[in-house]
Chains A and B, each alone.
Chain A
Amino acid sequence: MRRVIRGKVWRFGDGITTDHIIPGRYYHLRGDLAALTAHAMEDADPGFARAARPGDIVVAGKNFGQGSSREYAALVLVERGIQAVVAASFARIFFRNAINVGLLPVICDTDGIETGDVLEIDLGAGVVRDLTRGFTRDFAPLPRWMLRIVEDGGIVPHILARGGFGFAFTEGEGDGRV
């Protein structure tokens, strides 16, 4: 994964649930990811699935991805080409799911970041820059082993590429909110 990511913002508020991201009424489409993705974020912003572009970044308030364990919530965002979700906090199952499917979660203060802003995420430095508005926010970088899973495209490719299961956990590295 590139150390610096840049993309256009889709801004959402606090408490975006997995039902907002991919509603339960599309349960039957779970076998068809492309069809499911056409409904991504439908109950938060019905225009999102059509208008989002590969490389865009989702920005939200607190507790993003709260609710059910449905991994499809992270998957439809990846399928739509979203590179990263930046939120004030994440529900922990969503956070784990994001890592597992190769979607970068970043935890920082998101106040003042708005739809259409261009955001730059510097993974090495732990800094988010709003290039449109000219402010920066710091974040605690993910532990290196977690970032490696994201870089490998998720935990399954990670295990296949690295020949097995077992992580070099380094304590005190990043804040590892899982």
Chain B
Amino acid sequence: MRGQTLVEKILSRRLGRPVEAGEFVVAPVDLVLAHEGTAPLAIERFAALGRERPATGVLLFLDHAAPAPRAELANVQRRMRAFAAETGARLYGVGTGICHQIVAERWAAPGQIIVGADSHTCTAGALGAFATGMGSTDVGVAMAFGATWFRVPGTIRLDLTGRGSDGRGLPPSVTAKDVILHIIGLLGDDGAVYRALEFGGPVVEALDAEGRMTLCNMAVEAGAKTGLCASDGTILWFLEHMGRGGDFVPLVPDPDAPYERRLEVDLSGLSPLVAVPPAVDDVRPVEELVGLRIDQVLIGTCTNGRLSDLRLAAWIIAGRRVHPDVRLLVAPASRRVYTEALAEGLIEALVRAGATVLPPGCGPCVGVHLGVLGDGERCLSTQNRNFPGRMGNPRGEIYLASPATAAATAVAGELADPREFLA
């Protein structure tokens, strides 16, 4: 038998026969998810199909606009609670966190097939799942039948090498976020459309599960169907830490897997990066943008709202002051992240320095509440998209960067190079 990519392996295991890129398959779905923005329509489609009980695990999240900023959305949340109570779907309510983070903490496991009515469902690929975003109707159909159709995607393999004799190190103040911004810059925002991105090489092997989630989260920003990493000892450790060690299955691609494209990326000379609006693939080294006026800084979201991100931010900000010309917003990705950050004193350090801490959830990322931009304002955010209007106002601008660059910027009061703060 020919070697297989990670995606082919996962789908073959679940189908009990070998599948190849390009093939159309109907595959079982282990888990579906939706949130306030997409669940009502998914529920409507599910009901239209005449089903009463979901045929697979259903997770519903109140994270995009929670607590509800308006009556319409409060009513959507009421309907979702009622549906969960009727059908046994699992609902994560206000303040529990962002869907992708909770899926990673409590549900996702290597080898699973996960379909979510949210484009960043691919985050779970970091744990060796085949996880992909779809629309509400697709999710409603998967809910009703416990299966859906896929075209097995071809794979672009990225072998990431850094510094040191083992090639595992990243340059100072360069994080997983900078790595994925660099890759999106290389591929372009449509460079991986219809394909899977497989991340490997020494740098990825050395990254913790959280860093790998940051990589996989933004696979969709290159147009990819999903992003994946091998499930190795790091993932076993992560699952054990989450009390789910029994969910671990080792999964690695075959050495002779037939990749559509294979790219070696040398990260040893990388600078911290910034994606300049209005495109995610307009990526520049931070030194080109130092001094740019910034009005708001957001640290959080499903890309960079995890414990390691808050640690990095607190490390830079603790003992300093948030500059009076900047609003610093911090949104932990989940209640778990929040409580762990509290226990470590990170939240206190950030608040004392002048940060505003938001409830666990999406915060202002999608422009519904908690930090909508004013006309002509600029935000430096650790989120994944900088499209016009994304933060609620097409006359505002969003720059994307790592938590380190965000924290440095909050202190400096203008776009700043984190290397000056993290010597």
List chain A positions with a Cβ less than 8 A from chain B.
15, 17, 19-20, 23-25, 27-31, 43, 62-63, 66-72, 74, 89-93, 96-97, 100-101, 143, 154-156, 159-160, 165-167, 169, 171, 176-178
The stretch from B5-13, B159-167, B331-339, B384-392 touching chain A is B384-392
Distance between Cα atoms of A5 and B73 in the complex (Å): 39
Distance between Cα atoms of A154 and B138 in the complex (Å): 11
Across the interface, which residues of B come within 8 angstroms of A31, CB to CB?
A: 40, 72, 75-76
Across the interface, which residues of B come within 8 angstroms of A89, CB to CB?
A: 190, 193
Task: Enumerate B321-368 residues with CB–CB distance to A below 8 Å.
Answer: 366-368
Distance between Cα atoms of A176 and B64 in the complex (Å): 32
Distance between Cα atoms of A178 and B194 in the complex (Å): 6
Interface check B38, CB cutoff 8 A:
yes
- Of the A-B pairs whose beta carbons lie under 8 Å apart in the complex, a sample of 27, sorted by A's number, is A17-B387, A19-B385, A19-B387, A19-B388, A19-B390, A20-B387, A25-B367, A27-B37, A27-B64, A27-B65, A28-B70, A28-B73, A31-B40, A31-B72, A66-B190, A68-B119, A69-B38, A71-B137, A72-B41, A91-B223, A97-B138, A156-B45, A159-B141, A165-B141, A165-B147, A167-B26, A177-B194
Distance between Cα atoms of A23 and B395 in the complex (Å): 13
Across the interface, which residues of B come within 8 angstroms of A96, CB to CB?
A: 134-135, 138
Across the interface, which residues of B come within 8 angstroms of A17, CB to CB?
A: 387
Cβ A93 vs Cβ B133 within 8 A: yes
Interface residues as binary, B204-219 with A (CB distance below 8 Å gives 1, 0 otherwise) = 0000000000000000
Partner of B368, one of A25, A43, A70, A97: A25
Cβ B151 vs Cβ A176 within 8 A: yes
Across the interface, which residues of A come within 8 angstroms of B421, CB to CB?
A: none
Partner of B117, one of A63, A66, A69, A143: A69
Cβ B387 vs Cβ A67 within 8 A: yes
Across the interface, which residues of B come within 8 angstroms of A23, CB to CB?
A: 367, 389, 394
Across the interface, which residues of B come within 8 angstroms of A27, CB to CB?
A: 37, 64-65, 73, 366-368
Partner of A93, one of B22, B37, B134: B134
Partner of B190, one of A19, A63, A155, A176: A63
Identify the 5 closest CB pairs spanning chains A and B, nearest first.
A71-B135, A97-B135, A169-B24, A63-B190, A28-B72
List chain B positions with a Cβ less than 8 A from chain A.
22-26, 37-38, 40-41, 45, 48-50, 64-65, 70, 72-73, 75-76, 116-119, 121, 133-138, 140-141, 144-145, 147, 149-151, 189-190, 193-194, 223, 225, 279, 366-368, 372, 385, 387-390, 392-394
Contact A63-B141, Cβ < 8 Å, known A25-B367, A25-B393, A27-B366: no
Cβ A171 vs Cβ B38 within 8 A: no
Across the interface, which residues of A come within 8 angstroms of B138, CB to CB?
A: 96-97, 100, 155
Across the interface, which residues of B come within 8 angstroms of A74, CB to CB?
A: 135
Distance between Cα atoms of A68 and B389 in the complex (Å): 13
Cβ B367 vs Cβ A24 within 8 A: yes
Cβ A69 vs Cβ B133 within 8 A: yes
Partner of A92, one of B41, B72, B225: B225
Cβ B393 vs Cβ A70 within 8 A: no
Cβ B135 vs Cβ A69 within 8 A: yes
Known: A24-B366, A28-B73, A159-B141. 11 other contacts (CB 8 A): A15-B279, A25-B393, A43-B388, A63-B190, A67-B387, A69-B136, A70-B38, A71-B136, A155-B138, A165-B147, A171-B22
Distance between Cα atoms of A71 and B151 in the complex (Å): 20
Across the interface, which residues of B come within 8 angstroms of A91, CB to CB?
A: 190, 193, 223
Cβ B193 vs Cβ A178 within 8 A: no
> Taking the nearest CB of chain A, how far is it from the CB of B56, in angstroms?
13
